[in-house]
Amino acid sequence: MNRSANSDIIAAIFRRRMGNARKTRLFHDLPQAEQQLLLDNASLAPGERPVIAYLGGDTSWCLVTDRGLVWLDADGVHSISVFDVNRFTHDMGAALQRGHLDKRQFHELTVTLRSGETIVIQLEAGAPFYAVWRALDWMLDWANRPEQKAAQDSQVA
**Closest by alpha carbon to 40, among 61, 12, 20?**
61
d(CA 129, CA 92): 14
d(CA 115, CA 143): 16
Q: What is the DSSP string of 137-157?
A: HHHHHHHTSHHHHHHHHHHH-
d(CA 64, CA 26): 9
So what's the pLDDT on residue 59? 87
CA 54 to chain centre: 9
64-76 pLDDT, tens per residue?
Answer: 999 999 999 999 9
75-126 pLDDT, tens per residue?
Answer: 999 999 999 999 998 766 655 565 655 556 677 899 999 999 999 999 998 8
Residues ≥6 apart with Cβ < 8 Å to 43 = 70, 77, 79
Q: What pTM was computed for the model?
A: 0.86
**Torsion, Cα of 95, 105, 119, 97 (10° steps):** -10
So what's the pLDDT on residue 151? 64
Q: Which residues does residue 121 pair with via DSSP β-bridges, in sequence order?
A: 109
Q: Reply yes or no on whether the pLDDT at 155 is more than 70.
A: no
